[in-house]
Amino acid sequence: MPSSMFSLAGKATVVTGGGRGIGRGIALAFADAGADVAVLARTQAEIEAVAAEIKAKGRKAVAIATDVTKPQDIAKAVKRTTEELGRLDIWVNNAGGEFGLVASSPEMGYAVGTLQREEAEWDRVVAVNLKGCFLCCQAAGRVMAERGGGAIINISSMAAVTNAPGYAHYSAAKAGVMSLTLTLAAEWAPHDIRVNCILPGCITTPKVNWENEMLPPDIRQAFLAGVPLKRWGLPQDIAAAAVFLVSEASSYITGSCLEVAGGLGMHV
């Protein structure tokens, strides 16, 4: 397959949660593939830094402070992207990763103190991980439909397809992201909008460092034993999959949920 099939030259892309970790990795990989990138997140300093890295690669970049749970923020981000990058071809919904309170489902309310706070915790995690994904898909899809097509990637998690004790709200939200992907892929295929999903496994980032901080050494080794490739993932592993799923190399793929997890949870 020629390398040109993976080129994103001339494409205007958006990466939410793009200020660090997986989002930063995807944004930089898109720039390396020739795309211009709008980097969205809540922390202005972080997205400005990533935008500067993209510009250093010779691509256009814009940093847009955005809370993906707020429709008005998303609308402003779409407007600025189309104004400053000239179009909108690709959108990656990476914002999320809010794990929330770690507690078993029956104990969650007791752990946070009151049932009212339990409900608020559930709502917060679902809003960031699922509602925000839907709102961004909706806004991006409208623009792409008008211009004749595009590609969307939603970042889910292996927690969506495995048991995740202590993270019922997070895993449920990420499973919702998978279901949303399948429905939108079917609904938007007539508009030539492809919608796919990536399920990262244990990816080491500054926020989630599986090598050093997440778990005690003995538990960490036991966890790693369940990963057939015997290493933690890196942001560039997800970024490579993302480039493939938005490029012409995957032009006949939509509604796919791709596990990038070193074999974690492999069905054998």
Query: What is the per-residue pLDDT across 152-198, written as a single tens digit (0 to 9) for each?
Result: 999 999 999 988 877 888 999 999 999 999 999 999 999 999 999 99
63 bridge partner residues: 39
Answer yes or no: is 266 within a domain: no
Query: pLDDT class for 120, splitting at 50, 70, 90?
Result: confident
> Is the distance from CB of 177 to CB of 156 less than 8 angstroms?
yes
pTM of the model: 0.90
Task: Give residue 238's pLDDT.
Answer: 98
Task: Give residue 268's pLDDT.
Answer: 43
Answer yes or no: is 265 within a domain: no
> Is the distance from CB of 97 to CB of 68 less than 8 angstroms?
no
Answer yes or no: is 177 within a domain: yes
Considering the candidates 110, 167, 170, 252, report the single residue annotated as catalytic.
Answer: 170
pLDDT, mean of residues 194-204? 94
Task: Give residue 164's pLDDT.
Answer: 80
Answer yes or no: is 193 within a domain: yes
> Is the confidence at residue 114, as pLDDT, over 50?
no
Residue 184 CB partners (closer than 8 Å, separation 6+): 137, 141, 152, 193, 195
Task: Give residue 215's pLDDT.
Answer: 59
For 6, the 3-state DSSP assignment is helix
CA distance 238 to 17: 14
Query: pLDDT class for 225, splitting at 50, 70, 90?
Result: confident
Active-site annotation holds for 252 = no
Query: pLDDT class for 109, splitting at 50, 70, 90?
Result: very low
- The residue ranges of DSSP E strands in the chain, in sequence order, are 12-16, 36-41, 61-65, 90-93, 150-155, 193-200, 257-260
> Is the confidence at residue 247, as pLDDT, over 50?
yes
Answer yes or no: is 267 within a domain: no
User: Shortest CA distance to 210 belongs to which of 230, 240, 188, 181?
Assistant: 230
CATH number of the domain bearing residue 253: 3.40.50.720
pLDDT, mean of residues 139-157? 97
* Range of the structural domain that residue 243 is part of: 3-260
Express each pLDDT in 97-106 by its tens digit.
766 545 444 4
**257 vs 2: which has the higher pLDDT:** 257
> Is the distance from CB of 246 to CB of 153 less than 8 angstroms?
yes
pLDDT, mean of residues 138-148? 97
> Is the confidence at residue 41, as pLDDT, over 70?
yes
Domain count of the fold of the chain:
1
- The residue ranges of DSSP E strands in 118-256, in sequence order, are 150-155, 193-200
> Is the confidence at residue 267, as pLDDT, over 70?
no
Task: Give residue 211's pLDDT.
Answer: 60
Task: Give residue 221's pLDDT.
Answer: 76
